[in-house]
Chains A and B, each alone.
Chain A
Amino acid sequence: AQSVTQLGSHVSVSEGALVLLRCNYSSSVPPYLFWYVQYPNQGLQLLLKYTTGATLVKGINGFEAEFKKSETSFHLTKPSAHMSDAAEYFCAVSSNRDDKIIFGKGTRLHILP
C-alpha cells in the first residue's frame, strides 16, 4: 500500500523568501513521486516528477524537489517566492505497477508582500 503525508495544510512565506513544502511517502515498491499545483478555480497541473535516476528533479516555475530514500521524503523547494506562486500544492505517489496515483491532502501556499 502507498500513502503520502504533507506536513502543514497552510504555509506562509514572504515574497523573495525560500519556499519549502514537505512531503513524506510510504511505499512497498520503488515509488514514482509527483508534485502538482492547483491555482484558484482550476484543475491540477503537473509541476515535476521523479521516477528513476537523478534524485534532484527540476520542474516548472523554478521549483525543484529531492528524492531522499533514507528519509522517505520528497520535499518541494523554490529559492525565492513570487506572488504568483500562491496556490495549493499536492504531493502524490504511484509506481510502475499502478494504474492509479495517491494524492496527499494538499498544502496551501500563501505569499506575503
Chain B
Amino acid sequence: NAGVTQTPKFRVLKTGQSMTLLCAQDMNHEYMYWYRQDPGMGLRLIHYSVGEGTTAKGEVPDGYNVSRLKKQNFLLGLESAAPSQTSVYFCASRTEARVGEQFFGPGTRLTVL
C-alpha cells in the first residue's frame, strides 16, 4: 500500500497563476483533508470531505477550492495564487470509525513569487 500520496512535491508559481494539487489514498478512507503548515502556526485546515462528492470549509478556505469526484482522490485548487499562499500543504485521510486518526501524505512545498 502506498498510503497517502501527493503530487507534486514542489512547485513554484508566479502571482496570479493557477494550479491543482492532487492527493490520492489507497486505504478506502471516507474522510480526506487538506491542511497548510506555516512556521509557528501549526496545521490549519483548509477544506475537508466526509465522502465522495462532498466537501466542506475548514479554518482557512479563502482562495482555495476542492473537489472529491472519486473516493480515493481529493484535489486542491488555487485559482489565482498569491504570495500569502506560500506554504507546505498536507493531505490526510482517515476511516470514518477512527476519529482523529489521520494518515498524512509527505507534503507539497509551494512557493508563490
Residues of A near any B CB (own CB < 8 A): 9, 32, 34, 41-46, 49, 51, 90, 92, 94-96, 98-101, 103-106
Contact = CB atoms under 8 A, between A and B. Distances in A.
B41 interface: yes
Contacts of B104: 43-45
Contacts of A105: 40-42
Contacts of B101: 34, 46, 49
Contacts of A42: 106-107
B100 A32 contact: yes
Contacts of A98: 99-100
B100 A94 contact: yes
A98 B50 CA distance: 11
A61 to B, nearest CB: 17
B74 interface: no
B43 A43 contact: no
Nearest to A33: B100
A34 B92 CA distance: 15
Interface string B86-97: 000010100000
Given A44-B104, A99-B50, A90 B40 contact: no
A112 B33 CA distance: 35
Interface string B39-62: 011110100101000001010000
A65 to B, nearest CB: 14
B76 interface: no
B58 to A, nearest CB: 7
A45 B3 CA distance: 12
B24 to A, nearest CB: 14
B100 A101 contact: yes
